[in-house]
Structure 1
Amino acid sequence: MNIDPALIQRLSRLRRAASTRAVLIDVAAVLPLAAGLAVLSLSLAGWLPATALLIAATLALIAFAIRHARRHDQTWLLRQLDAACPSFEDSSALALQSELPASPLAVLQQARIRNRMSALLVSAAPDLRAPWPRRRLQGLWLIGLALIGFALLLPSLRAVLPVAVSTATAQQPSGQGTQLATIRLSITPPAYTTLPSRKTDTLDAKLAAGSQIEWQLKLDREADGVALSFHDGTRLELARDGESWRGTRAIDSATLYRIELRGAAALADERGYRLDVIADQPPEIIVREPAQTLTVIHAAQAEWLLNFEAKDDYGLGDAELSLSLAQGAGDQLKVTEQRIKLAGDGDGRSRRYRQSLDLAKLGYAQGDDLIVRLTVADRREPEAQSSVSTSLILRWPADGGSLSEGMEGLVQKVAPAYFRSQRQIIIDSEALLAQHASLSPQRYARDADALGVDQKILRLRYGEFLGEEFENGAPHDDEHQQEKAAPDGLGRAEDVLAEFGHEHNESEAATLMDPETKRLLREALNEMWQAELQLRQAQPGEALPYEYKALALIKQLQQAERIYLARSGLELPPFDATRRLSGEREGLVDRSRMLDPRSDDGSPLPALLGQLNGSARVDLAPLLAWVKAHPETPDPLGLLADADSLQRQPDCASCRRALAARLWPLLPAPPAAVDARRLPDAAGQVWLDGLNGLGGAPR
């Protein structure tokens, strides 16, 4: 059944009338405010701001009209009809359906509602328009008229203001400094950060590293020159541009600066201003799979699944998976390198890298080692930063070898497969030196760092035979450390364990080596550590002597046939029960003399804090040198700003307190001390006297 066209037209007129009323309400609300602000802007700033304000108001009204037109659609109309006309029985939507309903009852209801709707809309159509908000509109018109009245009275007020201003100026002292009439800082971050440019009206700012800053300053009086003096000794001369002074500089690190004038009185506010820099952080790499760095392969494994996640503050660049396959043993070791470019899934700042390695295709066989590392770069310019993931190792299960057990202990053959790749590191170092002239500095440093990682992996493998005691730092000589051991003192867990317990992590009890083999291995680890240090600093030439020494020591280790582990159990020191409650003090020492002496680290902060607490002039030169030598100090710019304020105002008590408050948390920690025994109070003394009386003569 077709819908009556006349009914459709009547409904459309109702909808348009409601939408038009909503637009008129918006116009009545916006018009007085826009007119008042436009007249005020015309009186204060001229035609351009007033015109811009009127254009903005017009665009806002257009946006309101579009919004109302979209809101007053057919669904809104049917909902309003059902609410206004109970006779429609909430079936207005059914009446406007172009197709017949499937149910005969629904067909009958559709015909009934259409007849009722046609009759009602012809005789007494409901008013669906929103009512006028009279009180709200009255308030807005009063505000608009007040703004227009203030704008009309403004010229007469201006005639009075110059007299008051000139009188106030005459009363001010002649030594008042120059004022900054206008301050405008335009900050343009580097393009690779994708951060928007911004402007600020303050001289302090926080910005991304490498941002370009343009200063635009206007003074309240004439000056021959304006310059910015930075705390590192550099200067930026500003150029005159009409009544303003302009200058541009790229800021790479946090700095403190001051404005200096020539040919005019100094600024009334001579404090230093801060430019805090947000450094671009290198990418962060998280290994999701495998869960451990060392994976032991099982017999049926054909693939190795890798899953990495990388994040960066401004955006990720290229990602590369490095594969190192070590095959063979001893001098027949062969190491092949392979690199795979990875795309990853995710946005520019966070990506997931998933890779499945086909072990058969890589040529991985029994006895081989596969080492995997992910390198991810960011988009920093001109030189990108890169991060390398933890090395992941895929290894065959270790061969236990032939073991024999006797009454004296356990015996195992040495000749481990780990003693094998130092020669390959030497070959790769020499090859890298030969290619130095043809490689870029970035590629040369990256390849040297990769060799340093290989040297670290080899060092850690050897360290397994010394109880992994070299995992977290440089190897050390046990005997040498014993000769230079610090005197025993309180508060050190190792001293308590050494005196009253038994150490289970001693190298003699935790490894499978005789003393001579241990000595050779320790010396080899020392050489490997030095080689790794030089390689990490992109100096393979300096690393070669240490690599050759490590190889020579490994050759000596390979001559050993057996290593020995003595059976040892828990052996506590003997306990002499006869001394219990005897009062004998032989062998006891004064614990107060066992404290470590206080060490002076050369910090000038304690002496400077003492000067601040006094009234003498403070010498801040040592503090400035100390801050420069300790860039990791929390908030160094704040510390320099307080020191600068005190340097300009030596008699400022608040400046002294502010600087002392910053220095207090930076003082070196004092050594542990023994609390003196407190004397008893009156009640305690009576109690002690009573005890002495019960025991006979005083003790």
Structure 2
Amino acid sequence: MEQLQHFKSRWQRFQYVECVLYAVGFGGLVYLLTKNLGFGLVGFMVAFGIALVLNKPWKIKTESVIAFVDAHVPEAGFSSGLLTLPTDQLSNLSLLQRHRVASRLKDLMPKLMPPHHLQKAALVMFGFILIGVLGRYVLGDFSSLSSKKGNNKEQIQFAPLDSIQEGIEIPELTETKITVAYPSYTGIPSLNTSNPNIKAVEGTQITWNLTFDGEVQEVIMDRMGELIPFSKNGEQYQLSQPLQSSGFYSFTFKDLEDNAYLTDLYSLEVTPDNPPMIEITDLNQYSYFEYNDDKTIPLNTQIFDDYGVNDAFIVATVSKGSGESVKFREETLQFDGSISKGNKQQRLKKLLDLSQLKMDPGDELYFYVEAQDNKTPTPNIARSETYFAVIRDTVTDEFAVEGNLGVDLMPDYFRSQRQLIIDTEKLIQEQPDISEYDFKFRSNELGFDQKSLRLKYGQFMGDETELQDAPGQVSAVEEETHTDEDGEEKDILDGYSHKHDSENEHNLVVEHPEKDEEEEEDPLHEYLHNHSDPEESTLFEKSLKAQLRDALNIMWDAELYLRLYQPEKSLPYQYQALEIIQEIKNSARIYVHRIGFDPPPIKEETRLTGDIENIKNVDKNESFEYEMTFAATRKMVARLETLINGNSQFTKSDNTLVLEAGNELAQKAVSEPVKYLKVLQGLRDLEKTTNRTKEMYVQVQKNILSVLPKVESNPGKGARSLDEINLLYLKELGDYE
């Protein structure tokens, strides 16, 4: 029974394949004739449905399978039906025959082919496709013949500008030949066409050859207002122009009777020659090398260009030294191997060896790739991003203290606030790994450095000495001062600080003898400008003095927490002090810039006299005339409305208005040709007498309004609504009565 079911399934699959072949053939025929994929899919579905209804693969029954097997397999002995019957209904002889048939069909059934018509279906499919191909060829040939006989929009067509008398023979354009000669560097061969809409690369030479059947006075090209006459060469009129910019053009000619004829607008579109594209792969923007490293940089570059690469090289600049003694050396390096000039894609390699560039520790290398295409006469040049390579400097200046010296000759007296922040953060980070003694010692040393920096900035405030703590603050040293058992004071910071940590450490300021407490008061003190007073110092203006005083006060707090071995609390104050110091530096720069002003001299004889006889008030009035955008185009819309209503006829002044409106829109059409081409063509059609109809006026007006921008709104008083609460509020303000 299982063998018969497998055979039945294969039979049904063959039937479905036949239906698919019929459907593919008919769907392909529909697609080729209509060239519409949607119609082709519809034809496929219809044909597949019809084939299914006719073949009905799902209706193949087991009885049909048994009859086919008995008729085509003699070994079955017309007993294959026994395989479908239950064993309890068979006699012993029938069971024996069933077993014999099953064993024989086991090897024969897989080789037995079900009844099918696949070859016929395949022939029908190919027949349908062949008919479609032939039909498409016939239809295409017929359409080409009809287009030659009828009006072709790709052919140049002339129409009279004004009505002409009957009986006058109009010259007819019999042949149009346009030669598009691309620049030689592009490698594109010249093209001959009759389509006046031209799209080519910049620098292409375009030649028009027009042949007329009849006498013509002159032929002129109108290229966006520029009139260029044709030259007569035998029976042809010829004009050659380079393609430099996008735009529109048309042709006009006059016959012997001075009747003018005009063509439609045609487009000239310039395709720019893009500069090369440079791609550097597998290279970091910054590369750092130690002195003992392999100082080489593999440079893998890919260069692409639309018409071919002409040259490529590496520009490398080596900088030596620092500050004012820095020196630069620029070199041009070639890639390994030769460049295949003219290829659109280049793969170049170069191994940059910093040693060959004579770079020493501390030197820096800046390099980039520059490429040129083969555009003539001036090639396009492109360059990649700049990459950096640095050899780290191994030489640093360190100050050492000899063992027989009692003091440090080069202490960090005035470490900057930024350095203090870095050292404080480093101390916080290393706290878990160092001993408590080292932590407190380093924290106290940072407090001393903070105090030294505070004293240094205090000199700018006029503080010649600072022997007392800030008001309202308790000295950290006093807090750490205790009395020992013998009654003598003992400094607990003695183990964590240098002996020079005192009020006048390292003799930073000169000691002055103490003045008598009962010194006689100076009666002129209130009337003098005392420079020894920190608050009277004039090194900075008042605002800068206030900022610097704030920074000094914040440094007190930063030093306090460093002395208390709490650097994490001192860090925010250090950041605040750094920010204020930076603002002071910027303010100082601005102040220096301002002193460059040189005021006019003051006449001493008229100073403070109050004489204003020669002083007059300045009253300056200027008037500006508002110019509306697209003024001629807006007038054209109003004029078209009059023509649509039939109140007047098209006049010569309307021709001038059409020309002005076209020139306004042509400026926009260069950047957006698709949007404005239809509008310009409609305006050009109005110059022809045959097109001056009401329907044409309506269509042209509609096209103009679709691209015309809205009028800019002028400032003015607009309507507004006020509720009762707003009225009461205005009344209270006295603005409303």
Query: If the TM-score is normalised by the length of the shorter chain, which range does it land in?
Result: 0.3 to 0.5
- Taking structure 2 as the reference length, what is the TM-score of the superposition? 0.39
- Taking structure 1 as the reference length, what is the TM-score of the superposition? 0.41
